[in-house]
């Protein structure tokens, strides 16, 4: 599933092509994604509306219009967005298409149909933080996301720190790949209870999370399954993975074999020497 850097890369790639453009029509396959796509409502609300903003919140892409309405898109596991000429041949899983007045078309392609498209009216869009995103945590780059904030959230949580980081209600947008990489960089065992981390641990971990996410964004994200960015190319941050997907390979720091374990049902990669945790007993795969 595309994580924060992948969605940010798509956002950056689309921004210059979409801002100032007018939606002339909305078309779709009629097949539901995560839920039924409101094609008729989008046609009614977005027809002749001008795109003013393209942004990201957590793993969601946000497209704002001149009347204050907001289109929210989640890519799911295999979704991607791309710009094509109106006349370009459709693919089987092109499920939603927003035609623009300049002859181009924004297409949402999703083979597994786990993605989602939502449309908020101006009132709903203005209240999205207390409405649609009410259960979503702070962005990791937000100035309000501080070591003290994370320390307070984790104080009574005995869940593994990796699970805590991936909980979008605590921190927005950190998925499995970047949780693995950040914890390795910090030398913290992913199964360590979140409540046991001290403020200095959160200071280091937050710094590394931001650094790794920034590096991934600059690399265009990571190649994940059939994920591609807005330009139709794959990211290359996977070339910088230190532990993710490297079971049995030598740790880049100490040379010990990278291990793979299951934590909260998710594949977890760690160095048993650099990330020691006496109380953690991961289940090896």
From CA 208, how far away is CA 64, in angstroms rounded?
A: 31
Does 266 qualify as catalytic in the annotation?
Answer: yes
CB atoms within 10 A of CB 160: 24
Round to whole Å and give the CA distance between 5 and 221: 5
Q: Which of 3, 8, 105, 259 is catalytic?
A: 3
Selecting among 27, 56, 57, 59, the annotated active-site residue is 59
- The residues, any chain, with a CB within 8 Å of residue 134's CB and separated by 6 or more, are none
Among residues 247, 266, 272, 273, the one annotated as catalytic is 266
**How many residues belong to the chain?**
285
Distance linking the first and last C-alpha atoms of the chain:
21
Residue pair 110/145 in contact by the 8 Å Cβ criterion: no
Catalytic residue flag (residue 3): yes
Closest CA to 144 of 62, 206, 54, 214: 206
Retrieve residue 63's tokens: 């497209």
3-state secondary structure 59-115: CEEEEEECCCCEEEEECCCCCEEEEEECCCCCCCCEEEEEEECCCEEEEEECCCCCC
| Catalytic-residue membership of 59 | yes
For residues 85 and 108, give the distance between their C-alpha atoms in angstroms, rounded to a whole number.
14
Q: Would you please indicate which residues are annotated as catalytic (active-site) residues?
A: 2-3, 59, 266
């Amino acid at each position: 599933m595309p994580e924060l850097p992948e969605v940010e890369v798509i956002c950056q790639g689309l921004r210059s092509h979409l801002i100032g453009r007018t939606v002339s029509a909305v078309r779709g396959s009629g097949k539901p994604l995560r839920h039924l796509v409101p094609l008729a409502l989008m046609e009614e609300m977005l027809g002749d509306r001008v795109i003013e903003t393209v942004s990201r919140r957590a793993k969601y892409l946000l497209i704002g219009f001149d009347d204050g309405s907001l289109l929210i898109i989640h890519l799911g596991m295999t979704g991607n967005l791309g710009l094509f000429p109106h006349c370009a041949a459709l693919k089987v899983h092109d499920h939603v298409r927003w035609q623009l007045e300049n002859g181009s078309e924004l297409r949402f392609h999703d083979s597994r149909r786990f993605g989602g498209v939502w449309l908020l009216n101006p009132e709903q869009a203005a209240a999205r933080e207390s409405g649609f995103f009410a259960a979503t945590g702070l962005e990791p780059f937000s100035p309000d996301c501080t070591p003290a904030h994370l320390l307070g959230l984790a104080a009574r949580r005995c869940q593994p720190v990796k699970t805590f980081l991936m909980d979008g209600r605590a921190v927005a947008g950190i998925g499995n790949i970047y949780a693995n990489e950040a914890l390795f960089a910090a030398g913290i065992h992913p199964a360590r209870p979140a409540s046991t981390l001290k403020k200095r641990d959160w200071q280091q971990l937050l710094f590394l999370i931001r650094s790794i996410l920034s590096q991934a964004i600059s690399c265009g994200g990571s190649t994940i399954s059939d994920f591609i960015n807005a330009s139709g190319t794959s990211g290359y941050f996977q070339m910088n993975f230190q532990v993710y997907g490297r079971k049995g390979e030598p740790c880049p720091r100490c040379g010990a074999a990278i291990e793979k374990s299951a934590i909260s049902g998710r594949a977890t990669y760690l160095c048993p020497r650099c990330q020691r945790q006496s109380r953690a007993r991961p289940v090896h795969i």
